[in-house]
Structure 1
Amino acid sequence: MAGRNRLSGWLRGRTDGASGSARGFTHDFARPPKETRGSRARDARQALVTAHRDELITAAAEAGLPLAPAVYPEGFGCSCDRIGCPIPGLHPVSLAWQTQASTEPERIGQWLRTQPLANFITATGISHDVLDVPAEAGRLALERLTADAATLGPVAAQEEDRLLFFTATRTPVDEEEWWPCELDCHPETADEHPGIRWHCRGSYVLLPPARLPSGGIMSWLPEHGPDLPLPDPLPVLDILSDACAQFGYESETESVAWGR
C-alpha cells in the first residue's frame, strides 16, 4: 500500500511544511487558515493551482477517477458562453461529459496542455460515488470514519463549506435498483439540498485543485488523497447521515431503499 498512498503522504507533507499561504492548498480543519479572503491570499492560491494542477489531476486519473475538462470562473461569471449560466465556473465544458470522461493518460495530458486554465470534474457512478455533506457534519463524522479502516477513503474540501467523501459505486443486481442522481443532488439544483447529497450515476463533482467562483480552491484533506482505496458507500452513508441529523439536516436518502 506504500505506493498507493504516495499522494496522500505528499499532501500531508505539503501541509506540515507549508507557509501560511500554501496551507490553503490542503485543509487542516483543526487549524483552518486565517487568510480566507483578500487579494494576497487569492493570488497565493492561484499560484499553487498553476504549479500543481497537472500533478494533482494526473494523480486523480491514475487512481481511476474518470475526468473531463470543466469551466472556470472568469471575471464575475463563467468561462462558458452560456448567457445566465446557472452554475458559473462549476460545470463541465462539454454536454457530452459523461461519455467524454476518461482516465487515459494521453487524453488527460492533451487536455492539460490545450486547456491550461480549465478546472476538471470527475463523473460519478462509473467507478466511484461521492457523498457530499456540510463541512460541520463532515468534520463530526471524520473522526469516526478514520478510526475504521474499512470506511477510510479520499476526502476533498470545497473551501470551508462542504466535504466530499469518495466511495466505491454500487453495482445493482437489477437495473431498476439504480438510484439516479436527479433524486436529490443534480449539480444544477444542488443548492436546494443543503444536507447530504449522493452523487452517483449521471452526476459529477469538481476535483482539486479546481478554482471556485468565491476565489477559493478545492483541496484534498491531508492523508485523504485520491490514491486511498474507495470504501463501500453504505457504511459511510450511515455515519454521515447520523452526523447530518445532529446538525438538523434532514437525510433525503432515508426514503430510498437502494439494493434492498
Structure 2
Amino acid sequence: MEETIEVTSAARIPTQHAEALPDTAVRYAEERHWDVFPGTWLECAEGTERCSCGDPACAAPGAHPAREDWAAQATGSATVARRLWQKQPKASILLPTGRTFDAIDVPETAGFLALARMERMELTLGPVTRTPGRRTQFFVLPGAAAKVPDLVRGLGWPPAALDLVALGEGA
C-alpha cells in the first residue's frame, strides 16, 4: 500500500517508493508542472544499503544530485521525465526551487507544530515534504525565500538564531 502525505484537502503526494518513483516523477511534471530530475538512489551491496554516488560516508544516501548541472537539466516534460527514469527507475526525484516554488526548510518538530497551527487556523495547506534528515519543507511561492530573512528580523529574531533555511533560486 502506498503511503501519502496530505498536501491540500484535494491533493496527495506519494512518498518516494522505488516502484512508484517513475510514475511520481511523470505526474509531477504532467499534473503539477514541476521541473524534475533524477538524483541518486540506494543500492544494496553486501547486505547494506549504500548511495549510488559511491561515497561510503555519503551525508544524504540516495537523496542528493548525482551531477552538478542537475537544476539546469531538470524538465517539466512528462515524456522526458519518463525517459530519464527508464534509465534508472530507483533514482530519487529532485525538484529545483525558484521556478514554480521556493521552500522553507525547518526541523521536523517545528514543521509538525506549524502544520498543526495552520490547520487550527483553517489555512489552506500547500505541498509539504519531509526529508530523510528529519526536516520539513513547506513549498511556497517563488521569490518567498528572498523575503524570509527580513520577515524573521521583523518578528524580532536574528535569522541565524533559527534553524530555518529558505531555499530559492538555484537550490
Provide the TM-score with structure 2 as the length reference: 0.69
2:168 aligned residue: 200
Output one character per residue of 1:133-188: Cα deviation in whole Å (capped at 9) or x when no partner. Answer: 11211111113324123xx201112369222111111289xxxxx68xxxxxxxxx
Q: How many residues align?
A: 143
Which residue, out of 141, 144, 148, partners 2:123? 148
Taking structure 1 as reference, are residues 90 and 195 closer, same or farther at Cα in structure 2, changes over 3 Å only? same
- Superposition deviation, residue 54 in structure 1: 2.5
Output one character per residue of 1:209-240: Cα deviation in whole Å (capped at 9) or x when no partner. Answer: xxxxxxxxxxxxxxxxxxxxxxxxxxxxxxxx
- The answer to whether the 8 A contact 2:143-2:168 is kept is no
- The answer to whether the 8 A contact 1:134-1:194 is kept is no
- The answer to whether the 8 A contact 2:50-2:56 is kept is no
2:41 aligned residue: 72
Output one character per residue of 1:42-62: Cα deviation in whole Å (capped at 9) or x when no partner. Answer: xxxxxx824322332222223
Output one character per residue of 1:3-60: Cα deviation in whole Å (capped at 9) or x when no partner. Answer: xxxxxxxxxxxxxxxxxxx47x2358xxxxxxxxxxxxxxxxxxx8243223322222
Taking structure 1 as reference, are residues 51 and 69 closer, same or farther at Cα in structure 2, changes over 3 Å only? closer
Larger relative strand fraction: 2
**Structure 1 segment 3-42 matched on structure 2, within 5 A:** 22=1, 25-26=3-4
Listed as ranges, the gaps of 5+ residues in structure 2 are 7-15, 148-160
2:67 aligned residue: 94
Instruction: State how far apart, in whole Å, the 1-side matches of 2:87 and 2:76 are.
Output: 17
Instruction: State how far apart, in whole Å, the 1-side matches of 2:75 and 2:112 are.
Output: 31
**Structure 1 segment 118-137 matched on structure 2, within 5 A:** 118-137=91-110
- Superposition deviation, residue 122 in structure 1: 0.5
Which residue, out of 83, 94, 116, partners 1:110? 83
Secondary structure at the counterpart of residue 59 of structure 1:
helix
Instruction: State how far apart, in whole Å, the 1-side matches of 2:162 and 2:92 are.
Output: 23
**Amino acid paired to 2:138:** F
- Superposition deviation, residue 78 in structure 1: 1.8
Taking structure 1 as reference, are residues 82 and 95 closer, same or farther at Cα in structure 2, changes over 3 Å only? farther
Listed as ranges, the gaps of 5+ residues in structure 1 are 1-21, 29-47, 173-177, 180-192, 204-260
- The answer to whether the 8 A contact 1:92-1:120 is kept is no
The CA RMSD measured in Å over matched residues stands at 3.1
Instruction: State how far apart, in whole Å, the 1-side matches of 2:59 and 2:73 are.
Output: 22
Provide the TM-score with structure 1 as the length reference: 0.47
